[in-house]
Amino acid sequence: GEAVRQFMVEFPTSNLTKEMDTHLKAGVTLPDALVVEALEAIMLSQRCQTRGYVLDGYPNTIEQVKLMTELCIIPVQIIELTLSAKEVHWRGTADRHSPDRSLPLHDSAPILDVRLSSYKRNIDVVRSHYQKEHRNWNILEGNRSKWWLNDKCAQLMNEQLKTAQHYLEKRTVGDAASIFGLCVSPDECKNRLRRILSLLPVSLATKHELVDCSFETTMKFTAEYRARYYKLAGQKEMDMFLAEAHKYVSPTAPHMLPDSLPKYVTKAEVKQMFPKELAFRGYCPVTYVLGHKRYEALTPGSRDHVVLYDDEVFSMLDDKTMEMFLRQPGSTIELLCPLSFLLLE
């Protein structure tokens, strides 16, 4: 409400103000689209740009969240205060009888019940969205003292500011920087990941292994370097990449990404490839190589562990052998000498 009132005062002749005024004079609730548009304009003001802002009790519904996201309004931190319905009514009663109150507010017992009902109906989907997309949702106990809550909120914001400042400092000097804690959504991260970036650059450079971590969405070990995102295997690899990122990316990386990359394929995808036959006559190439290429090491692969590599379909024995093949497919295929294929004909 405050943002809408401030917008109407500061921009009395704008078309948005006239449209909102029409709704208000008709005695109807303002559409969420108009409220979010006014909110965006206020957030661009000098006051909000220099001092920041706090959205108290907003957004309330997933529709409002979507409208804000479309306009790139993403709260840096969201703090949910948990209180029982009994405590809410007790505090509402105390506020209504406070001698400091000069004007009546919409906080009677029936109105509080309506607000609590709306909150319970919408909070789960709103919380789930921000937890999944931006990982910026914090839950605090509302029955704590105001001093404890103030310190906790200040701590959360200080940590966020430090993270943002460190990111900007690294970007300014051209170094790699972690994007964890910057509210980057999984879709945004995916859009800025090329195929090489969804593979671990440190593992590729130091172990010559292809490790696909595109399924990992927490971004705890995701860094930005030269306007691209890179995923890392863990904290050790993350520290190595942040310290010397240029060593693990093109053109100075010791191992370049091969033209052909292995890909796990499902049973349905295998059926769609018919009449394409399994390479190596359906035997697991990994067990054969590990068994020193002896005849006894020929083990039929499983249809649940199929990998497409270099336009050939290979069947693995189990999860372990499939993981080994996905990491080093080229090395495995090189060890399968042409004679091995001839013996299987």
Residue pLDDT, tens place only, 120-148: 999 999 999 999 999 999 999 999 999 99
- Give the CA dihedral 134, 162, 157, 51, nearest 10 degrees: -110
Confidence of residue 3 (pLDDT cuts 50, 70, 90): confident
Report the chain's mean pLDDT, rounded to a whole number: 84
Dump pLDDT digits (tens) for 97-114.
Answer: 888 887 778 888 899 999
Q: Quote the CA–CA distance of 141 and 284 in Å, as a whole number.
A: 55
Q: What is the mean pLDDT of residues 213-234?
A: 78
Q: Are 183 and 198 in contact (CB under 8 A)?
A: no
Q: Quote the CA–CA distance of 38 and 55 in Å, as a whole number.
A: 13
Lowest mean pLDDT among 9-18, 69-78, 323-332: 323-332
Q: Are 221 and 238 in contact (CB under 8 A)?
A: yes
The residue with greater pLDDT, 196 or 200, is 200
Whether omega for the bond prior to residue 329 falls within 30 degrees of 0, making it cis, is no
Dump pLDDT digits (tens) for 7-66.
Answer: 999 999 999 999 999 999 999 999 999 999 999 999 988 888 888 889 998 999 999 999
pLDDT at 213 over 80: no
HEC letters along the chain = CHHHHHHHHHCCCCHHHHHHHHHHHCCCCCCHHHHHHHHHHHHCCHHHHHHCCCCCCCCCCHHHHHHHHHCCCCCCCEEEEECCHHHHHHHHHHHHCCCCCCCCCCCCHHHHHHHHHHHHHHHHHHHHHHHHHCCCEEEEECCCCHHHHHHHHHHHHHHHHHHHHHHHHHHHCCCCEECCCCCCCHHHHHHCCCCCCCECHHHHHHHCCCCECCCCCCCCCEEEECCEEEECCCHHHHHHHHHCHHHCCCCCCCCCCCCCCCEEECHHHHHHCCCCCCHHHHECHHHHHHCCCCHHHCCECCCCCEEEECCEEEECCCHHHHHHHHHCHHHHHHHCCHHHHHHHC
pLDDT at 76 over 60: yes
Amino acid symbol at 104: P
C-alpha neighbours within 13 Å on the C-beta side of residue 82: 7
Confidence of residue 344 (pLDDT cuts 50, 70, 90): very low
Q: Quote the CA–CA distance of 191 and 200 in Å, as a whole number.
A: 17
pLDDT at 339 over 60: no
Lowest mean pLDDT among 37-41, 171-175, 322-326: 322-326
Q: What is the mean pLDDT of residues 303-331?
A: 85
Distances (CA, A) of 29 to 15, 64, 117: 18, 14, 18
